[in-house]
Amino acid sequence: MPRVRRETVLVAHPPPLGVLDRAFGMLHAGSPGLRDLIRQTEPRLLICGHIHEAAGSERMGRTLVVNAAMGRRGGGALIRLGVDGDMQLEWP
């Protein structure tokens, strides 16, 4: 599968395997298929959830992964995408 345009935002329910996917602080519960898709296509941003206790953000290669499950304070994540390629992430 070819890489996608850098403006691409991917939205999925689970996080990718190994990234913001620790359930109960121990078990990796992410999706191996989603991990492989991100490695192959390198979207600019992945917004996911599902693992409430792993809310946060982390880079996976060139992709910013945001697990917005319940947000850090229960309010989700606010992501501002600039036309020049910059991103701002806030946890309201």
Higher pLDDT, 85 or 31: 31
Name the DSSP letter for residue 30. Answer: -
Q: How many domains does the chain have?
A: 1
Domain carrying residue 53: 9-90
Per-residue pLDDT band at 71 (split at 50, 70, 90): low
Q: Is residue 2 part of a domain?
A: no
Listed in sequence order, the residues at least 6 apart from 18 whose beta carbon sits closer than 8 Å to its beta carbon are: 28, 30, 35
SS3 state of residue 1 = coil
Q: Is residue 1 part of a domain?
A: no
Cα–Cα distance for residue pair 79/24, rounded to 1 Å: 26
The rounded percent of the chain whose pLDDT value lies above 70 is 92
Query: Mean pLDDT throughout 12-25?
Result: 93
Place of tokens 């917004």: 47
Predicted confidence at residue 45, as pLDDT, reads: 94
Q: Is residue 4 part of a domain?
A: no
Per-residue pLDDT band at 47 (split at 50, 70, 90): very high
Q: Is residue 82 part of a domain?
A: yes
Q: Is residue 3 part of a domain?
A: no
Predicted confidence at residue 70, as pLDDT, reads: 75
The angle subtended at Cα 91 by Cα 3 and Cα 20, nearest 5°, is 50
